[in-house]
Amino acid sequence: MKTLIAIALASTSLSAIACAVPEQLDGKTLINVADPAYSPGNPNAGTIMKLRFGKDGYENKILSKGLLVRGQYRYRKLHDTVGLMEANELYDGRATRYTLVLTCLNDNSGTAVFTQTQGAIPPDNRQNTVRYTIDQ
């Protein structure tokens, strides 16, 4: 009986993580919403962004501010459920460098951790969580 309960619990937990991040971002569009509660001092907290990815570059339309920023990125899938994007972009002639670690909730959405190491808008070093949805 204990074995059956353990198997049932294990299969339930496995089905809860049965998702995958994209193999690549080329041709994909992500709608991102930055979490306003994670870091209230972050100037991008609560921001809604639409990122369109090409082979080597992306376009970041910051919907809640009416801005358009372009950048370059590298993406790799680290695990079925985890992807890493390393990006840099220019805003008002100043460089911004950041990473985005994606973790899927399902095949079309999940949570990401945004970590900036250099920014056009201070502070240079900051972090926030983001909810993402893949809008193909």
pLDDT digits (tens, 9 = 90+) for 45-79: 889 999 999 998 999 999 988 999 999 999 999 99
Strand partners, 46: none
Dihedral of alpha carbons 90, 62, 130, 107, sign: negative
**Domain range annotation of the chain:** 20-134
Question: How many angstroms separate the CA atoms of 93 and 46, rounded?
Answer: 24
pTM, entire model? 0.82
Between 136 and 72, residue with greater pLDDT: 72
pLDDT tens digits, residue range 76-127?
999 999 999 999 999 888 999 999 999 999 999 999 999 999 988 888 888 8
Question: How many angstroms separate the CA atoms of 35 and 47, rounded?
Answer: 8
Task: Check: CB of residue 35 under 8 Å from CB of residue 45.
Answer: yes
- 3-state SS, residue 23: coil
Task: Check: CB of residue 129 under 8 Å from CB of residue 112.
Answer: yes
Domain 20-134 CATH class label: mainly beta
Give me the pLDDT at residue 16, please: 54
